[in-house]
Structures are given as structure tokens and as C-alpha cells.
Amino acid sequence: MTELFLAQAAQLTEGKLLQGNPEILVSSYTFDSRNVAPGALFFALKDKRDGHEFVRDACQKGAAAACVSQRVPGLPPDFGLILVDNTLDALHKLAEKILRQSSLKVVGITGSIGKTSTKEFTARLLSEKFKVLKSPGNYNNQIGVPITILSLNTCDQIAVLEMGMSRPGEIKKLTQIAPPDVAVITGIAPVHLEFFNGLEEIAQAKREILEGARNGALAVLNGDDPLVREIASDYSKGRVIFFGQRQDCLVRAENLKHHGYQGISFDLILAGQKANLRLPFLNQALVSNLLAACAVSLAFGLKLEEISGALSNLPQSEHRGQLLEFKNGIKIYDDSYNSNPVALAAVLQSLGPIPARRKIAILGDMLELGPSELDFHREVGKKIPEYGWSILVTVGQRAKFLAKGAVENGFNSAHIYSFSEAPEVNDWLINFIQPGDFLLIKGSRGLALERIVAFLRKEMEV
């Protein structure tokens, strides 16, 4: 964790120290008063709630100081207060300057799908040879990225940072804080269309990671995605490595085979060398994320045998493709964290060959898809009967159009059950589920379908 004297923190945030001992040590950084540790610098951010309302709470929990944009009465005189014009800007300035003073290499990962899995895989592989700092959970925005940077230790050598966005310009801002030495684009898909006019605009927003990369930066790009190739066609800051299944990809997967619950096998081709891998992935889309991680690792000098050896212990991200097994042969594929049309179609297809007594797809709304959102739901719904699913459970009003598309393509409407929100599913499902069933649970973040997973884990024996 970056340690600073309070006076240094005031200087680096370009703020004014209103009160407190300039020589007191700040040892951690947070924007959430629930996570305050003794010695923390609390940033009073103005978001859905005004962080200034929680400064006193942070003080009572042992924070050393707070960064504020307005005076806060009722604080002890020894509690540090740094006054700035804008607390979010101050957080950005502090992280940017701390990073600039370090020798840390930055791997920036963006894309419409697979960012978190790619981040986790990349950090795991690089940790074979390096001390790696990675963004926790989904700390991928203008708050999470700088907070991650401020958690770096002096021994850290590489930062693996997920860079997300929902609007144009957000990735640009993140690259101003942390310019990537390696810029990764996992792919372009129809997400956040509520804020964009089509895939091309999303692609241009993702391109910001290349524009904000350092001179000499390596671009690691999904070579199977035509839009990614297009936006990177004039990239000239450094080398480009494509990953994917096309023959011109330096890092690619060949001879992909599904083995039911045993996962997927394929030949990993890494700069002309080959290794046969068998991994516990049920969803083929994860192979693409792994290839991106392998490409980054190759750039940092890892050899094929080091990479293939590390793959035996890949991390699983919670609610992002976890296979849960219960008594009586019931299995749940928990992919409840988020959803979009490309990711949903991919997982429906990948899990299609899985053997089960009944295959039940519990699918929630896909949010932020813009004016064509219902059409997106209907088109993905048409794939449900094609891939061999037995029963469809929809959660939310938009998800009913998944059912509509399924019925249009021959799915039996008697095998469709619809609910408004996740808690309504629980009591029905626990009585409906039978030994040998296989469940897929997937929906957008706003649906919080992990509540169904938590209920089933509580009610059923592992």
C-alpha cells in the first residue's frame, strides 16, 4: 500500500491542508466509509450519495484524514482535512502521480465481454515470474482504477487493470491516469447501446485504450473480431499481437473439443510452438480470454512450458462461469454476474452439448441495449431451441422477449415460466428442480440473479 505523509497527499492532490498534522502517515485509501481502516485517507466523492455525509463516520472508524470539496463541521482538530475543488479529480491526480513515480508496467484490459476473466487469467500467468497488482472484483471505472493503483506495494512489478466504460471518453480518462504498456481489447459486442449509436461507436470508444497507450506499447487484440481489427488497423505506437482461432493469430487455439463436464481441450499455438491443453471450461468463450492472457504473458517473456504449467490452477471468478454441483446430480452453471446478446448466445451454444436430465435456462433481462433491446432479446431467444434447452425461465419484462423468440423458433410454450424479479423464482424453483437437472443462470447486473444462486446453495446440499 502506498504510504504518504498528509502534507504529501495534499500536495499531490493539489489541495489545501485545512487541519491535521502534516506529518501524520496515510496508509490506505478509500471512498467507502464502510471499508475505512485506521490510517486511511477517505475521499468524499459525490456520486449517488454525497461522501461528505460520511466523513464523520470515517473519522470515528480511525481514518487519518479526508479529502473534501467543502468544509465539514464537527470534526476533531487533529483529524486531517484536505480541501480540493473536485474530490474525484483529486483521486485521479494522486493515482496518476503515484504511478508515474513508480516503475510499474501497466496492462490495460478493455472490451465488451470477458474483461474480468481475462484480467484474472493474465494476473495468474504473470504471477509465475512477477509481483502482480490486479484490480479487485470489478474495480474497472474512474473510481476503482485509481483506488487499485493506490494499493500498490513497492515490490509490485506489473499492474493488470480492467478498464471499463459505459460512455465515450471514459477509457480515455482511465488511460490518462494509467497509460498502458500493454493494451488488450477482448472484443466488441452490443452493450451500453443506451449510450451509443451502434457497434461502430462502441468500437471507437474501446479504441481509446490504444490512443491512450504509451509510445512503444504492445497491442494485444482479438483477431477473430473484424471490428477490433478495423479500429487497430492504423495502430503505430508499437507491436500488435492477435489472439484467436484464425490462422494469422500469433496466439491461437486449434482442434477445440468439448468433453461435457470435463471441460474443453485444444492445442495452444504460441508463436509457432504447440501444447495440448485440457481445461475445466464449460463455456468456449473463456478460451478467447485465456488466449489474450497467454499473449500478454508471451510479451513479458514467459515460455510455453511456464504458461501451460500455470494453467492447472486458473482462478474462477465468482458468478462468472462457476460450475456448482449439488446432491442428486443437480448442477448449476452460475454466470449470473452480467449478460449481453453475444455472451448469452455463446454460453447457450457452449452448454448445448452438456448431458443432463433437463437443461433449464434461467435468463434475466439484458440491460442498456438501447432502442433495439427487445429485438436483441428475441433474436437470442431463437437460439434456445437450436441448442437443445428443455426449459426456459425468464426474469424481468425484457426477458419475456427471449421467450417470444424461442417460441417463434419452435420452442414449446408449456416449458416457459416467467417472473418479474429474482426472489419470485426461488420458492417455485426449489419445488420444480429435480435430480439430474442442469441449470444455467445468467442476466444483467441490475437483475442480481446471484440471489437465486445464493438461495439454492442455502437450500440444497452440496
Over residues 337-380, the pLDDT tens digits come to 999 999 999 999 999 999 999 999 999 999 999 999 999 999 99
Average pLDDT of 159-174? 96
Q: Distance (Å, rounded) from C-alpha 238 to C-alpha 181?
A: 10
Please, which residues have CB within 8 angstroms of residue 229's CB and are 6 or more apart in sequence? 221, 223, 242
Residue extent(s) of CATH 3.40.1190.10 domains in the chain: 102-313
Domain 102-313 in CATH 2.60.40.10? The answer is no
Q: Distance (Å, rounded) from C-alpha 180 to C-alpha 96?
A: 12
Q: Distance (Å, rounded) from C-alpha 310 to C-alpha 448?
A: 32
Locus of grid cell 446430480: 329
Q: Are strands 322-325 and 331-334 parallel, antiparallel or unpaired?
A: antiparallel
Confidence band of 276 (pLDDT split at 50, 70, 90): very high
DSSP state of 131: -
Using DSSP's 3-state secondary structure scheme, residue 109 falls into strand
* Contact criterion met (CB below 8 Å) for 327 and 295: no
* Contact criterion met (CB below 8 Å) for 206 and 112: yes
Confidence band of 317 (pLDDT split at 50, 70, 90): confident
Q: What is the pLDDT of residue 192?
A: 86
Q: Distance (Å, rounded) from C-alpha 77 to C-alpha 51?
A: 20
Confidence band of 314 (pLDDT split at 50, 70, 90): confident
Q: What is the pLDDT of residue 462?
A: 60
pLDDT tens digits, one per residue of 118-153: 999 999 999 999 999 999 988 999 999 999 999 999
Residue extent(s) of CATH 3.90.190.20 domains in the chain: 322-459
Q: Distance (Å, rounded) from C-alpha 160 to C-alpha 145?
A: 10
Q: Distance (Å, rounded) from C-alpha 350 to C-alpha 333?
A: 12
* Contact criterion met (CB below 8 Å) for 353 and 258: yes
State the chain's mean pLDDT as an integer. Answer: 96
Q: What is the pLDDT of residue 315?
A: 77
Residue extent(s) of CATH 3.40.1390.10 domains in the chain: 4-85
Q: Distance (Å, rounded) from C-alpha 62 to C-alpha 176?
A: 32
Q: Distance (Å, rounded) from C-alpha 333 to C-alpha 339?
A: 14
Q: Distance (Å, rounded) from C-alpha 253 to C-alpha 102?
A: 36
Neighbours of 448 (CB within 10 A): 18
Is 80 exceeded by the pLDDT of residue 18? yes
pLDDT tens digits, one per residue of 368-423: 999 999 999 999 999 999 999 999 999 999 999 999 999 999 999 999 999 999 99
Is 70 exceeded by the pLDDT of residue 80? yes
Please, which residues have CB within 8 angstroms of residue 295's CB and are 6 or more apart in sequence? 184, 220, 241, 243, 250, 251
> What CATH class has 4-85?
alpha beta
Q: What is the pLDDT of residue 454?
A: 96
Q: What is the largest CA-CA distance in the chain?
A: 72
Assign domain 322-459 to its CATH architecture.
Alpha-Beta Complex (3.90)
pLDDT tens digits, one per residue of 193-244: 888 989 999 999 999 999 999 999 999 999 999 999 999 999 999 999 999 9
Please, which residues have CB within 8 angstroms of residue 154's CB and are 6 or more apart in sequence? none
Average pLDDT of 180-190? 97
pLDDT tens digits, one per residue of 256-268: 999 999 999 999 9
**Whole-structure pTM value:** 0.94
Average pLDDT of 87-115? 97
Average pLDDT of 8-14? 98
DSSP state of 270: E
